[in-house]
Each structure stands twice: as C-alpha cells, then as structure tokens.
Amino acid sequence: MITNQILNMIEKYKTIIIHHHVNPDPDCIGSQLGLKYIIKESYPEKLVYAVGEHVDRTEFMGKLDKIEDSIYSDALVIIVDVGDKLRVFDKRFLKGKEIIKIDHHPLTEEFCTLEWVDTNFASCTEMVIDFYLQNKDKLNMTEDAAKVLYAGLLTDTGRFYFNSVTERTLSHGAEVYKYGFNKQELYANLYYKSIAEMKFSGFLMNNFSYTKNGLGYMKIDQKILDEFNIKPEFASSMVNILANITEIIMWIFFTEDKKLGKIRVNFRSRGPIINKLAAKYGGGGHIFASGAHVENWGIVDKIIADADILCQEFNK
Ligand SMILES: [Mn+2]
C-alpha cells in the first residue's frame, strides 16, 4: 500500500518539510497543517515544518514556519494538493533529499520518489485522513489536526455537496468531526462575510453575463475591485455564485490581479469537461473545476468563445 510506503519514508527521516501550492486554499493548508500535527504528535522527536504563505482566508488555520535553506539537505519534503512543479510554492522544495506527493488532481507530471495521486478523493484532506486511518496503529490524531482537516473537507466538497463526494468522504469526515473542536467557530472563519463582500455578491448576481448555450461568466476588472474594496482572491473565490442556476451548465470568473500582473480564470462546470480547456490556456485542474492565469482581456474573449462551443457541443 502506498500509504504504508509513505509512513515508512516518514519514519526514516528526522526532518520533514511540507509545502503547499501557490494561493493555497483551506484544503491545501488543512492537508499541510493536519499532516504536520499528526506527524508531530506521533513522533515528537521529529522536526516537522509547514512552510509557505497564507492567503487571507486561511490565516485562521494555524501558523506556518520560516526555515533556513540548509535544513533541506537532509530532509524529506512532502507536497500536498498539487501535482506539478510550477504550482508548488517556494521552489526550495526541490532541495529535499526525497519528495513525496499527495494529491487528488489528475496526474500531469511525475517527479517525486513517491507519488500518491488519486482523483477518487474529493479533497486532499480526505487523503490525509485516509493515510492516518491506514496507519492508525502508529499515528495519532489531534484536535487541531481534526479541525483543519475538516475545514479542507468542507471547502473542497462545497459542504459535502459536490459530485466528488463518496461514502468514504462522509465517513472520513465523521472520523475527524468527532474531535472536540468548536464547529461554529470554524464555520464563522470559513463562511462569514463582511458587508462589503455581501454587497459585492449582490453586484455579481445582478451583472453576470450568459449565453443561450448555458455559459455564465463574469469579468471583474480593477475598477470593480476598487469600487467594492475587494481583493482578487476573494472575488475569484465567488465563482460558485453562478452554480445551481438552471440555465447555466458552465461558469467562469475572470478576475484582474494587479499583484500577479495577470487575469485569474476560474472554470466550473456541471456538464462539459473543462480541464482540457484550462490546459489550452496554460492552466489545469479537475474535470469540473479548473484554473488558469492569462495575460490580457483579448485572451479572455477567446476563452469565452471556446467555452461557449463546449457548452453547445455538450447540449447536442
Ligand atoms: Mn484540493
């Protein structure tokens, strides 16, 4: 079993460094910190680091570590919720002695000593919980680990609503839910919105575009972000405001990101497969949820045209 191989490798190392992907979401940080807390609790003598940078919405989940370059030379590196080198945050991960990948996105490239890639998992945190359950004789869960793992499950499954949810997702959820962390506080951290954010939701509902083939989309430029005092990360995370609309089978948000100097593209679908479309524009992801960054609004219009054709073909 790959989960045993992963544990054997963890046991071999004194130092373990866990990396997340760029713009980490709660599933990524939950996997990273959950794994760190489990390893630390089970092997207190090991040095376990979770490196990287939070985005605003993951800040509450727990502290990340700053470490020196020299620590990598004798360390095991684990990357979570990410499959390709380019999307791993902090390129120092390549300096680890060996690398393990734990990911639930479709495989795009292999470069690790151990690759545990399985798209049957609804979230990466579900994989971490699975890893713990498969090695329960040696591993210990903690309340803090349970909390961040549950946060990842909630957000990557839309609160256990998406197609990707299985019986295992629910039972693994129950496995961490039984720990005593404060559920209401967790929901507040994940789901409460400010008044400005709520007003922005209202703006989106009133102003999205759609085609007769069932494509819904929203272009959010800097002017709109300024007007509502909203950050691009938050704006693009609102893409599912166009989910659950009878007439819409695919929905895309295009959000200008001054810091990146690019336009963030968030693809979602409940019909046409969209990760190939995302890949065509330099991105990737799951079959019904993908992302990309593109250079300008001209490319955005090309994506809209391509996406509309996919919807049209799907309807046939
Ligand atoms: Mn994920």
Give the model's pLDDT for residue 113. 98
Distance (angstroms) between ligand 1 centre and the Cα of 26 equals 8
Give the model's pLDDT for residue 164. 94
Q: What is the mean pLDDT of the chain?
A: 97
Distance (angstroms) between ligand 1 centre and the Cα of 254 equals 20
Distance (angstroms) between ligand 1 centre and the Cα of 20 equals 11
Distance (angstroms) between ligand 1 centre and the Cα of 85 equals 16
Give the model's pLDDT for residue 292. 96
Confidence of residue 207 (pLDDT cuts 50, 70, 90): very high
Distance (angstroms) between ligand 1 centre and the Cα of 194 equals 25
> Taking residues 85-101, what's their average pLDDT?
97
* Ion ligand 1 nearby residues (CB, 5 A): 27, 81, 124, 156
Report how far residue 74's alpha carbon sits from residue 80's, in angstroms, rounded to the nearest whole number. Answer: 20
Instruction: Please report the DSSP string for 194-260 in residue order.
Output: -HHHHHHHHHHHHH-EE-TTSEEEEEE-HHHHHHHT--HHHHHHTGGGGTT-TT-SEEEEEEEETTT
The full set of domains in the chain, from first to last, is: 2-190 (3.90.1640.10), 195-315 (3.10.310.30)
Distance (angstroms) between ligand 1 centre and the Cα of 87 equals 13
Distance (angstroms) between ligand 1 centre and the Cα of 127 equals 10
Distance (angstroms) between ligand 1 centre and the Cα of 125 equals 7
Give the model's pLDDT for residue 68. 97
Report how far residue 128's alpha carbon sits from residue 170's, in angstroms, rounded to the nearest whole number. Answer: 14
Q: Report percent pLDDT > 70 for the chain.
A: 100
Give the model's pLDDT for residue 99. 98
| Matching residue, tokens 């809209």 | 304
Confidence of residue 214 (pLDDT cuts 50, 70, 90): very high
Q: Report percent pLDDT > 90 for the chain.
A: 97
Could you report the per-residue pLDDT of 276-293, keeping only the tens digit for each? 999 999 998 889 999 999
Q: Residue 251 CB: number of other CB atoms within 10 A?
A: 25
Taking the model in full, what pTM does it have? Answer: 0.88
Could you report the per-residue pLDDT of 158-178, keeping only the tens digit for each? 999 998 999 999 999 999 999
Confidence of residue 127 (pLDDT cuts 50, 70, 90): very high
Distance (angstroms) between ligand 1 centre and the Cα of 29 equals 9
Distance (angstroms) between ligand 1 centre and the Cα of 78 equals 15
Give the model's pLDDT for residue 73. 95
Strands 250-257 and 262-269: antiparallel
Distance (angstroms) between ligand 1 centre and the Cα of 212 equals 31
Q: What are phi and psi of 39, to 5 degrees?
A: -65, -45
Distance (angstroms) between ligand 1 centre and the Cα of 135 equals 22
Report how far residue 260's alpha carbon sits from residue 87's, in angstroms, rounded to the nearest whole number. Answer: 14
Report how far residue 181's alpha carbon sits from residue 300's, in angstroms, rounded to the nearest whole number. Answer: 43
Distance (angstroms) between ligand 1 centre and the Cα of 71 equals 27
Report how far residue 12's alpha carbon sits from residue 244's, in angstroms, rounded to the nearest whole number. Answer: 48
CB 242 within 8 A of CB 235: no
Cα radius of gyration (the chain): 20
Distance (angstroms) between ligand 1 centre and the Cα of 104 equals 7
Distance (angstroms) between ligand 1 centre and the Cα of 243 equals 18
CB 235 within 8 A of CB 266: no
Report how far residue 89's alpha carbon sits from residue 30's, in angstroms, rounded to the nearest whole number. Answer: 15
Distance (angstroms) between ligand 1 centre and the Cα of 227 equals 31
Give the model's pLDDT for residue 225. 97
Distance (angstroms) between ligand 1 centre and the Cα of 204 equals 25
Report how far residue 48's alpha carbon sits from residue 293's, in angstroms, rounded to the nearest whole number. Answer: 32
Distance (angstroms) between ligand 1 centre and the Cα of 116 equals 14
Confidence of residue 215 (pLDDT cuts 50, 70, 90): very high
Distance (angstroms) between ligand 1 centre and the Cα of 118 equals 11
